[in-house]
Chain A
Amino acid sequence: MYNEQIKFELENSPLMPRIVELKERNYADKDAYADAPQDYADAMDSYDRILDVVGDIMENVVAPNAEAVDAEGPHCENGRVRYAEKTYENLQTMIQAGLNGVTMPRRYNGLNIPVTVYTAANEMVSAADAGFENIWSLQDCIETLYCFGSEEQRQKYIPRVCAGETMSMDLTEPDAGSDLQSVMLKATYDEGNDCWRLNGSKRFITNGDSDIHLVLARSEAGTRDGRGLSMFIYDKRDGGVDVRRIENKLGIHGSPTCELVYKNAKCELCGDRKLGLIKYVMSLMNGARLGIAAQSVGLSQAAYSEAVSYARDRRQFGKAIIEFPAVQEMIGNIRCKLDAGRALLYQTARYVDIYKALEDIARERKLEPEERQELKKYQKLADAFTPLAKGMNSEYCNQNAYDCIQVHGGSGFMLEYACQRIYRDARITSIYEGTTQLQTVAAIRYVTNGMYASVIADYEQQAESIADTDVLDRIKAMAAQFNAATAAVKETENQEVLDLCARHLYEMAADVIMSHLLLQNAAKNQSLFARSLALYLNHAQADISKHATFINNVVSQGCEAYRAE
């Protein structure tokens, strides 16, 4: 599970020393905590060992349990969730290993590891069992409580999460899915008991019977939009929230998806009133989107491993099917999309790490002017890259799971190989935490304002010294197609054309960026990445030409033919 590619992503970025130095405040904890690193090398060694423990648990406990968890699924009994039996073993093992609240500072019993390292763990958990990953990775909700909660709330809740209590984020309602501004769950202030109360219901809540909930609710009576929403912390120990039912889903059976009923449930306000959606949930969602990107890469890795192992074993026409070019193309496509998507995932995680660490330092002291510059730069990059990493990897893992079943042929359609679970589990990734269509909405402004183009230009400059000219020329040609298509769409000054072409422009930008990232990786390690780079360039060039053709047609024809009948 803890493979060479993941190790490479952790060890080889020039950003990593800066990330660790910021996260560790120049190694200020080294004498106060026995587990704190002494310096950069020591920190990297510790991360490596942590991930080795994760890989070990995934191989020996979680992956072997995955089939049974998928078959049993969770149960709803008397308003409570009972997980599948083996889920409890998975959770208990993670608690014993100390793998909860891992990004939190040591003073709250966290491990203080960077998001990048947590992402690597997340990817491995997902490769073992994507449904279990949902439950485990909801621990990153604690980031939002840490960022916006009071010190009292931090001290009350963070150590509990580090000890293994689970979390959920209660956002969706029957009439508020993608459009969270319509959330109607009512929060009222109870003067007599000096606390807030929640009344109403929520739907599709992942791990909805968790110990600690972050709840989006309408605190401002009479309002209808996002400005009337606040965020609350509900502690299951206080009671008042019941599970009405759990959904019967296509995939991720390990993770209970709940309908919740709030009956005058006591809760605490987190942060300021009215900032629930516009500030806190946006931050929560960005973290969750990076989590889904990691979950997707894990699923792609699982699809790749299953496809290769089957293709090596299965013999037809007198040889292993992996010998046939038609099978090699499918497996090669999985491999290159996996490596390209993974490079994008970790680049995003590193950008997130730098800005989050600086943001946290800003809570302790005033930042220097150059630190403020740095914070701004990486926050922008993180905002621009997160929807790419989430959207592209979730689409890729679906494509990869599809190809994985195709490699298995008829056996893949039967419910006997892991590929069918991977296929079902992958399906949700491009839907929850914002569909791919909404990732496109989030990303399109970085197409039109030239942000992606300037990142690409920057990467091109870096590539001059490391790349073969013909490889770089191919990527430059793709970038030129992307820029031309962007200009053509903008020139129409037609919002409808832009909306229709947005997904295509988004994928073009992502293709070019991932080509560059793979190129950077291959320059450092030919044996790991040269093949994926070659295959990915073939894929990306063809893909970009396809999008360019589509956009040209829409620009010249208009959108009329697409309008709803």
Chain B
Amino acid sequence: MKLNIVVLAKQVPDTRNVGPDAMTPEGTVNRSALPAIFNPEDLNALEQALRLKDANPGTTVHVITMGPGRAAEVIREAMYRGADGGYLLTDRAFAGADTLATSYALSTAIQHVCPNVDLIIGGRQAIDGDTAQVGPQVAEKLGMNQITYTEEVLSLEDGVITVRRHIDGGVETVQSPLPVVLTVNGSAAPCRPRNVRRVMQFKRALAPMELAPGTGYSDLPYAGQYEQKPYLKIAQLTCADVNADLQQCGLAGSPTKVKAVENIVFKAKESKVLTDSDEDINGLIVELLASHTIG
């Protein structure tokens, strides 16, 4: 069975390896100090999509990402690993979006570029926002079933998908007819590596937004390549391209208001002083065992 799969992916600051300059004095993320990476659980999602493509010849996998021009790196990265192509959803009107406005933009774009979508697969959550809301909201807006915390797609037969979910204290196996939205947990299989042949093939793929202002593909080195190989031009979509309602996009469409951001500093009264006596150590071990921190 040939499937149309859309993978939702986000470029995020790498919050896993933070240095002292990771936050600005104002308490916001200092994006320039953190390398931009493919959101880790979106890579798990991509792997599930590529496995379905391996098992179902003729299947296409396209990545949609919303962000500035440099977010096209996520699309190239996905192509290196096996995706057929992608769409960069980029427009000033999308800026400042919370999860509601983001899922509106993504679902509108999916309806536009892939109306016959069979599966939408995304990571459980992004490491910069940690909301886990975008995938489920996309499902709601498109009226599709959703399976969250996906750990593995066990089978897909006769239009019915069987999925193992990772849930508190165990696993659960569920089924759904297509189309369906899956959000994939970090405990799922890691993504396959970049394939070097694909890296060489797609290394020059660029979205228009990545070009210097006022220049076109014909101004680039190896310009002729873009004429011979149309797949090197990464598709780019604006608000208008997908007929999105401006009122539901970006800051305007975001009911979430950040009241204040506080740095969490542990104060002395929240900590406990232990000595190296056997009594204190035993007490700590018992406490950690009880809270399942160890053991």
Contact of B196 among A31, A34, A49 (CB under 8 A): A49
Tell whether A453 is near chain B: CB-to-CB under 8 Å: no
Q: Which A residues are in CB contact (< 8 Å) with B228?
A: 31
- Nearest B residue to A92, CB-CB: B192
B242 within 8 A of A: no
**Chain B, interface residues (CB within 8 Å), range:** 10 to 19
Contact A46 B195 (CB under 8 A): no
Q: Which of B192-239 contact A (CB under 8 A)?
A: 192-201, 203, 222, 225, 228-229
In the complex, chain B residues whose CB is within 8 Å of the CB of A45: 203
A329 within 8 A of B: no
Pairwise interchain contact B194-A97, C-beta atoms closer than 8 A: yes
What separation, in Å, do the CA atoms of A96 and B192 have in the docked complex? 7
Contact at B193–A97, with CB atoms within 8 Å? yes
Asked if A50 CB lies within 8 Å of chain B CBs, one says yes
Which chain B residues in 157-193 approach chain A with CB under 8 Å? 192-193
Cα distance A42–B222 when bound, in Å? 10
**Other-chain residue from B199, B222, B229 in contact with A53 (beta carbon distance below 8 A):** B199
Question: Which bucket holds chain A's interface residue count?
Answer: 20 to 34
Please give, as numbers and ranges, the residues of chain A lying within 8 Å of B229 by CB-CB distance.
Answer: 34
Min CB gap A33→B, angstroms: 9
B196 in contact with A98 (CB, 8 Å): yes
What is the count of residue pairs linking A and B with beta-carbon distances less than 8 angstroms?
49
CB A42 to nearest CB in B, in angstroms, measures 7
In the complex, which residues of chain B have a beta carbon less than 8 angstroms from the beta carbon of A42?
222
Is A141 interfacial (CB 8 A cutoff)?
no
Which residues between 33 and 55 of chain A lie within 8 Å of chain B, taking CB atoms?
34-38, 42, 45-46, 49-50, 53
Whether, in the assembled complex, A167 has its beta carbon less than 8 Å from a beta carbon of chain B, the answer is no
Whether A98 touches B203, Cβ cut-off 8 Å, given contacts A38-B222, A38-B225, A42-B222, is no
A325-B196 Cα distance, complex, nearest whole Å: 44
Q: For residue A98, which residues in chain B have a CB less than 8 angstroms away from its CB?
A: 195-198
Please state if A99 and B222 are interface contacts (CB–CB under 8 Å): no
**Please, which residues of chain B bring their CB within 8 A of the CB of A96?**
192-193, 195
Question: Smallest CB-CB separation from B203: which chain A residue?
Answer: A49
Chain B residues contacting A46 (CB-CB under 8 Å) are 199-200, 203
Note all chain B residues with C-beta closer than 8 A to A97: 192-196
CB under 8 Å from chain B, chain A span 82-133: 93, 96-99, 111
B193 close to A93 (CB less than 8 A):
yes
A56: which B residues are within 8 A, CB to CB?
193-194
CB distance from B90 to the nearest CB of A (A): 25
Cβ of A424 to closest chain B Cβ, rounded Å: 28
Instruction: Tell me which residues across on chain A come within 8 A of B201, comparing CB atoms.
Output: 34-35
Q: A485 at the A/B interface (Cβ < 8 Å)? A: no
Q: Which one of B195, B198, B225 has the greatest number of beta carbons of chain A within 10 Å?
A: B195
Since A45-B203, A98-B198, A99-B196 are in contact, a sample of 10 more A-B pairs with Cβ atoms closer than 8 Å, ordered by chain A residue number, is: A37-B200, A38-B225, A49-B196, A50-B199, A56-B193, A56-B194, A93-B193, A96-B192, A97-B193, A98-B196
What would 30 A/B residue contacts be, using CB atoms closer than 8 Å? A31-B228, A34-B200, A34-B229, A35-B197, A35-B200, A35-B201, A36-B200, A37-B200, A38-B222, A38-B225, A46-B203, A49-B200, A50-B199, A50-B200, A53-B193, A53-B196, A56-B193, A56-B194, A57-B193, A61-B193, A96-B193, A96-B195, A97-B193, A97-B195, A97-B196, A98-B195, A98-B196, A99-B196, A111-B196, A111-B197
